[in-house]
Amino acid sequence: MVQLLIGVLMSNSPRIRSAQLTDLDGIVALIQALAEYEKLRDQVTGDPEKLGLHLFGDRPFASALVAEVDQTLVGYALYFFNYSTFKMQPGLYLEDLFVLPEHRRSGIGSALIKAVAKEAVAKGCVRYEWTVLDWNQPAIEFYQKMGAEVLPDWRVCRVTGEALRRLGGG
C-alpha cells in the first residue's frame, strides 16, 4: 500500500528539464494559456515556427525550461541573458513563468524559479531579474522571501508598433 502510494506520488511529481524542439507545441499551448489567464489572448499573434527557431536555432534569443507531469507539460519558464556594464558580466532575465492553474500550490513555480537561478549561477550571471505587478502583494512577498529585492523607483519605457517604426526610421 505504501509502495503503491509512493508509486502514485512519483508518477505525479513534476520533472523540470530544458525544453527541446519536440516541446514546441506544448510551450505554445502554455503561452496561450498564460495569455488567457491574463485576459490577453488576442495579443498572442506570433508564429510558432519562429518561436522554434528563436529557442532552438543556431542563434537563440531565449531559452526555456519546462515542468512535466506524466509526460504532459504543465508549466514553463522562458528566459534570456541581459548584461551589467558595471559588473561586465551577463545577468539573466526571466520573461515568463507559468504553471497551469490546476497544477499550482505544489511547488512547481518555485522549482522553475530555482532551476532558472541554478542556470544563472552556472552561466556566471551576476543578477537574476524579472518583473511583477505592483499590486500583486502575494507574489511580491513570495519573491522577497526568495531573496529578491523589488526596486521601487524604476519604470519600464516601451516603444512599439508605429511609434517604433517612426523612431527608427529617421
Closest CB to a second copy among 1 and 162? 162
**Residue 143 among the catalytic residues:** yes
Among 6, 13, 37, 87, the residue binding a second copy under the rule CB under 8 A is 87
Bridge pairing between strands 15-18 and 89-99: unpaired
Closest distance between a second copy and the C-beta of residue 89, in Å? 6
Among 6, 8, 21, 40, the residue binding a second copy under the rule CB under 8 A is 40
Residues 138-167 that bind a second copy (CB under 8 A): 140, 143, 146-160, 163-167
The burial of 18, by beta-carbon neighbours within 10 Å (0-12 exposed, 13-18 middle, 19 or more buried), is given as exposed
CA distance 53 to 46: 12
Any idea which residue has 532551476 for its cell? 115
Among 10, 43, 71, 102, the residue binding a second copy under the rule CB under 8 A is 43
Give the side-chain half-sphere CA count within 13 A for 48: 12
Q: Which residues are catalytic?
A: 143
